């Protein structure tokens, strides 16, 4: 072994590996026994190593002061509390637009349903009117254009013969145009001279589609 090799490898091996001798260690020890310079270097290094060991021992139990942990804990708590508050605020901010959206959706749905129901009702009423018309036409053949009366005012209806008073809520009021003579078929007295006049009549149509009462609005 040469002095350069001893400095790089041998010194390290001699210093570090205390158990068992390998070829390098033997060669280093042999070199140190023949070279006074390397022997002195080895001695100095062992002394320095011992001093380093002392330094290591002195600082071996050193730890960061407790205040560092305290500061870190405070920072951690603050950071995560802020994050939690922010996420809560974000979470809490959601229900408002969600509620508005939900309200709009429900309103739209209700509007659609009511539209649908109204259309159905109109169809049913038309069917009812047609039934009334057909009855009237069957009876007299004089009934003509009929319209659904918007107002639900019970007014002065005269019950048709053979009918009992009924709730206005269960009935529909239908305005029809017919010849005066057709009233005779419903059991009313008719002036023979004006039998061919066209008049408007409100019919109170029951749930069974049959006219229950009649009213002369004019």
Partner 1 sequence: MRIPELERDDVLLRRAAKGDEESFVLLYRRNQAALYRFALRMTGNAWAAEEVVQDVFMTLMREPKKYDPARGPVAAYLFGIARNRVMKHLERLPREVSLEEQQENGAAASAATITAFTPAHWAEQQERSERVRAAVLELPAEFREAVVLCELEELSYEEAAQLCGCPIGTIRSRLHRGRALLLAKLEMLRDVPRRVSAAK
| Binding stretches for partner 1 (CB under 8 A) | 7-8, 11, 41, 44-45, 47-49, 51-52, 54-65, 68-69, 71-73, 75-77, 79-80, 83-84
CB-wise, 40 or 101, nearer to partner 1?
40
CB-wise, 67 or 151, nearer to partner 1?
67
CB-wise, 16 or 164, nearer to partner 1?
16
Phi, psi of 88 (to 5 degrees): -65, -40
Cα–Cα distance, 142 to 138 (Å, whole number): 9
CB of 41 to partner 1, least distance (A): 8
For the CA atoms of 23, 26, 30, 32, the dihedral, rounded to the nearest 10 degrees, stands at 110
CB of 32 to partner 1, least distance (A): 16
CB-wise, 34 or 56, nearer to partner 1?
56
CB-wise, 38 or 135, nearer to partner 1?
38
CB of 80 to partner 1, least distance (A): 4
Phi, psi of 172 (to 5 degrees): -120, 145
CB of 105 to partner 1, least distance (A): 35
CB of 101 to partner 1, least distance (A): 31
Helix runs in the chain, H state only = 3-5, 11-16, 23-34, 36-60, 66-93, 95-139, 181-185
CB-wise, 84 or 118, nearer to partner 1?
84
Q: What is the DSSP letter of 194?
A: G
Cα–Cα distance, 174 to 162 (Å, whole number): 20
Distances 182 to 131, 132, 133, 209 between C-alpha atoms, Å: 16, 13, 11, 18
What are the residues whose beta carbons fall under 8 Å from the beta carbon of 125, sequence distance 6 or more?
Answer: 148, 172, 174
């Amino acid at each position: 072994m040469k002095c350069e090799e001893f400095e790089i490898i041998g010194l390290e091996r001699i210093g570090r590996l205390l158990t068992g001798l390998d070829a390098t260690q033997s060669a280093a020890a042999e070199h140190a026994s023949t070279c006074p310079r390397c022997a002195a270097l080895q001695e100095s290094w062992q002394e320095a190593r011992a001093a380093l060991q002392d330094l290591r021992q002195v600082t071996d139990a050193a730890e960061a002061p407790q205040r560092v942990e305290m500061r870190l804990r405070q920072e951690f708590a603050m950071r995560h509390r802020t994050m939690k508050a922010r996420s809560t605020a974000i979470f809490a901010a959601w229900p408002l637009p969600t509620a508005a959206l939900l309200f709009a959706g429900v309103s739209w749905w209700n509007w659609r349903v009511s539209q649908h129901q109204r259309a159905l009702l109109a169809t049913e009423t038309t069917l009812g009117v047609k039934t009334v018309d057909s009855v009237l036409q069957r009876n007299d053949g004089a009934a003509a254009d009929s319209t659904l009366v918007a107002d639900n005012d019970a007014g002065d209806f005269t019950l048709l013969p053979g009918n009992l008073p009924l709730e206005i809520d269960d009935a529909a009021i239908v305005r029809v145009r017919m010849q005066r003579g057709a009233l005779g078929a419903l059991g009313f007295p008719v002036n023979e001279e004006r039998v061919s006049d066209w008049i408007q009549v409100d019919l109170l149509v029951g749930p069974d589609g049959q006219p229950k009462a009649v009213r002369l609005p004019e």
